[in-house]
Chain A
Amino acid sequence: MHPAPSLIAFSTLSGLGFGLLAALGLGFPAVTGWTALVFFVVAFALAGGGLMSSAAHLGHPERALKAFTQWRTSWLSREAWLACAALGGMALYAALLVLGGVRVALLGWLGALLSLATVGATSMIYAQLRTVPRWHHWSVPALFLAYAVTGGTLLAGQVTAAVGLLMLTGLGQFLAWRAADRRVAASGTDIGTATGLGARGAVRSFEPPHTGGSYLTREMVFVVARRHATKLRSIALVLAFVVPAVLLLLPFSHVLAALAVLSHLAGVLVQRWLFFAEAEHVVGLYYGRQFG
């Protein structure tokens, strides 16, 4: 799949933002006043800014409000509702906390739940697609949530919890990559089922329908240079998990914590680039692409 910068930025930033909002909603850290304001500004900037950037890939962003209508079937529509509910609920919670110094715990928990549900809905947009075998699996929402919780805990300055979560999510990502490689190779969809000619012999794409590119080839038949995939996965794991965990285990300083956050952010960006670039769409089979 085409790794659109707007989608990579959106899922990375909003994942971190909603993760931080969830942590703040649960009272980690238990801040009030000006300190709380700083935390909430960061969280809202990440979550809201991410959502804004996702509108950049729309053909008609001015019609975006129509996306609220089909929540009964569409995960994209559900994501829109959940994002608004989470941002609205957490804005009220933040206002009471910052201006009034009152923490309404129930509202915070509800906001945390809605924040994580938004991340879950985002991940389901991808996981629902049977056409992309690498995404069509429960591990996709599980990892999106794990990334959000890990990043949120890291941003919330919960050092001990963050170290543990970094290790767990990093291990989860490593195992998920290996499982996904096997799943794609065993997906059962190939050029034989795509053309219905598989029982007659070995099918090979002889001539594509067009000599130039098309929306389909650009959007869905994108191929990442496979020889770099292993290197990029290693870079993502080191930047997103190993470096931040090591920095957090050193004697605490704000500079090291900030570096840990930046390293994690860079690692997640690489992981999200791979998430799109490595994903094979079955339409590629019609163009002679092979899976696995």
Chain B
Amino acid sequence: MTELPERTDRKLGLVIDLDTCVGCHACVVACKGWNTENYGAPLADADAYGADPVGAFLNRVHSYEVQPESGPAQLVHFPKSCLHCDDAPCVTVCPTGASYKRGEDGIVLVNEADCIGCGLCAWACPYGAREMDPAEGVMKKCTLCVDRIYNENLAPEDREPACVRTCPAGARHFGDLGDPESAVSQLVESRGGMDLMPEQGTKPVNKYLPPRPKDDQIDVLAPLLEPVAEEPRGFLGWLDRALEKL
């Protein structure tokens, strides 16, 4: 059913720390690996070893340069996947009911057996979270590793999304964002977690933690390292004066 649930019991989602992400793309590879071997149609590539390779990915890492009005520019690595929105526009546009949001945990999924591959859900998503599989002709998207998080055949520490499990920097967190007491909600609260494109009205569940402000001075000892003499002295001083006179 493409009608959105009135409320979801839980809001499972990701919290992505833009301060910590080092842009290694390990989450991209882990996601592609898990979702090629498990739930649903494999994430295909076309012309993988040719001149023009393309493929379906559920998670991609952009990098942005932020130039403040004063001070040095900052590089921010920016992983982007489905934000499992409360008001998911990709769900309501679906003509077949293949796209749906689960009432019990808020995960947005695609029933691939019902998908006609019209692509309208990808148009409706402002975040570019959905990609058509080049081999299967059905829409692929982040499942929040629904086949890991409830999988009792896995060790308890592995029951989280592959991207979270693999992140070497600890920049990705998984949990219930509907529960204000959960670790992820506390993290969002303390770090000022934000929505992407709030003006689109999608009410995303996933939150992004902004980069922490960089220190104005490099080190507490920096003032002690101020140069003691601005003017050159000795041979260099003579050279400077001599060249000035020429």
Which residues of A pack against B, CB within 8 Å? 1, 57-61, 63-64, 66-70, 72-77, 80, 125, 128-132, 188-189, 191, 193-197, 200-210, 212-216, 218-220, 281-283, 286-287
5 nearest A-B residue pairs (beta carbon): A59-B117, A59-B137, A209-B60, A201-B68, A283-B128
Q: Is the CB of A188 within 8 A of B199?
A: yes
Q: Is the CB of B67 within 8 A of A204?
A: yes
Q: Is the CB of A202 within 8 A of B119?
A: no
Q: Distance (Å) between the CB of B101 and the closest chain A CB?
A: 12
Say which size band chain B's interface belongs to. 35 or more
Using A59-B137, A132-B123 as known contacts, say yes or no to A201 and B66 having CB atoms under 8 A apart: yes
Q: Distance (Å) between the CB of A187 and the closest chain B CB?
A: 9
Which residues of B pack against A, CB within 8 Å? 1-3, 18, 28, 52-57, 60-69, 73-76, 78, 80, 89, 91-98, 114-120, 122-128, 131-134, 136-138, 194-201, 208, 210-211
Task: Please give me the residue from chain B that is nearest to A59 by CB atom.
Answer: B117
Q: Is the CB of A59 within 8 A of B197?
A: no
Q: Is the CB of A283 within 8 A of B97?
A: no
Using A59-B115, A76-B95, A206-B63 as known contacts, say yes or no to A215 and B134 having CB atoms under 8 A apart: yes
Using A61-B116, A76-B118, A196-B208 as known contacts, say yes or no to A66 and B96 having CB atoms under 8 A apart: yes
Residues of A within 8 A of B208 (CB): 196
Q: Is the CB of A130 within 8 A of B89?
A: yes
Q: Is the CB of A282 within 8 A of B126?
A: yes
Residues of A within 8 A of B210 (CB): 196-197, 200
Using A1-B123, A63-B116, A206-B63 as known contacts, say yes or no to A70 and B94 having CB atoms under 8 A apart: yes
Q: Is the CB of A194 within 8 A of B196?
A: yes
Q: Is the CB of A197 within 8 A of B60?
A: no
Residues of A within 8 A of B95 (CB): 66-70, 74, 76-77, 80
